[in-house]
């Protein structure tokens, strides 16, 4: 890992860097996390019930039938079921959805969860009706749930993200960012050694490597990731996209510090084992522009090399 850090840092001085103001600073001492994303709940009035839990005061009082329990969408009735649901999911992304029986958007959220389960086998949902029983209210108090709808994201039983309110597009972005798809066109890097192996492989085919560096609780990182996935699919024959979270582990943290990555989201561009540029920010059009510029330079260099051989 030290070798790859020295290599990248040695080429850093000649590499161009493009900054966009939509990014997070990273402390020189530690990779600090910004506050959790808190999207405002829908414009409903909330009032405390006798047990102290905040329930939606909904004029329509629309009832929906009870959601069926399934392997991927499990209805929770007590704390032990909740904990067991997290344990059994193992490596999968788990999203706990807290709502109330008479919340008028329950049916829409249910359909959203069903659709996500059809698309991905790597996400499970725990569905909690917060006003069903005292056991459920105990769970809500333990998890500090005070408003609905509320979504809590877990990976390996660890709370990695929370989202207040229901915004489908934002939830999809969060699922893509925090989940893991074995068929993803973006290579997942868990260490500096993983990056070193990737560079060695593509020294042979001379493909441009784009490494997306982010953090778990970084809102701009979540925002741009769907665009990264789309670009990775569209440019698979020309560009290799990879992803590394700065706060994944000590190995990632150490390597990124050594190559002076201080803001996220960051995109590192590598050609033939050398760092040739970086983009800081979450503007998809700016990212595409930087990639196309480097691709054009790469084409010119290849033509010059061919001409010199002739």
CA 161, CA 155: separation in Å to the nearest integer? 9
CA 62, CA 36: separation in Å to the nearest integer? 31
Which of the residues 221, 252, 276, 283 is marked catalytic? 221
Q: Which of 137, 168, 134 is nearest to 151 (CA)?
A: 168
Residue 78 annotated among the catalytic residues of the structure: no
DSSP bridge pairs for 25: 263
Task: Give the chain's count of helices (H) and strands (E).
Answer: 9, 15
Q: Residue 87 burial (CB < 10 Å; 0-12/13-18/19+)?
A: exposed
What one-character-per-residue DSSP string does 198-256 give? HHHHHHHHT-EEEEEEE-TT-HHHHHHHHHHHHHHHHTTTTEEEEEEETTS-HHHHHHH
CB 161 within 8 A of CB 37: yes
- Per-residue b/e over 159-174, b at no fewer than 16 CB within 10 Å? ebbbbbbbeeebbebb
CA 77, CA 96: separation in Å to the nearest integer? 13
Residue 218 annotated among the catalytic residues of the structure: yes
Give me the sign of the Cα torsion angle 247, 249, 252, 256: positive
Print the SS3 string covering 24-35: EECCCCCCCCCC
Which of the residues 140, 218, 252, 276 is marked catalytic? 218
Known catalytic residues are 218, 221
């Amino acid at each position: 890992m030290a070798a790859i850090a020295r290599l990248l840092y040695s080429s850093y001085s000649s590499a161009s860097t493009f900054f966009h103001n939509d990014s997070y600073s990273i402390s020189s001492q530690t990779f600090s996390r910004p506050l959790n994303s808190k999207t405002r709940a829908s414009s409903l009035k909330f009032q405390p019930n006798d047990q102290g839990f905040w329930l939606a005061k909904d004029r329509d009082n629309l009832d929906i039938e009870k959601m069926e329990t399934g392997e991927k969408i499990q209805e929770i009735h007590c704390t032990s079921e909740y904990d067991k649901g997290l344990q059994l999911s193992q490596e999968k992304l788990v999203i706990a959805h807290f709502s109330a029986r008479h919340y008028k958007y329950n049916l829409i959220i249910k359909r959203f969860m069903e659709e996500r389960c059809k698309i991905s086998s790597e996400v499970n949902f725990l569905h909690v009706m917060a006003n069903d029983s005292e056991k459920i209210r105990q769970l809500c108090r333990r998890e500090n749930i005070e408003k609905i709808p509320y979504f809590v994201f877990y990976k390996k039983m660890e709370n990695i993200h929370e989202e207040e309110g229901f915004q489908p597009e934002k939830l999809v972005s969060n699922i893509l960012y925090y989940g893991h798809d074995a068929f993803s066109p973006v290579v997942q890097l868990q260490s500096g050694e993983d990056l070193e192996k990737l560079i060695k492989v593509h020294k042979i085919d001379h493909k441009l490597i784009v490494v997306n560096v982010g953090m778990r609780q970084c809102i701009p990182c979540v925002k741009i990731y769907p665009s990264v996935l789309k670009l990775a699919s569209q440019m698979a024959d020309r560009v290799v996209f990879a992803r590394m979270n700065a706060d994944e582990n000590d190995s990632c943290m150490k390597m990124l510090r050594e190559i002076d990555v201080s803001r996220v989201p960051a995109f590192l561009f590598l050609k033939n084992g050398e760092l040739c540029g970086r983009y800081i920010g979450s503007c998809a059009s700016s990212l595409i522009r930087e990639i196309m510029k480097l691709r054009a330079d790469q084409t010119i260099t290849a033509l010059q090399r061919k001409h010199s051989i002739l």
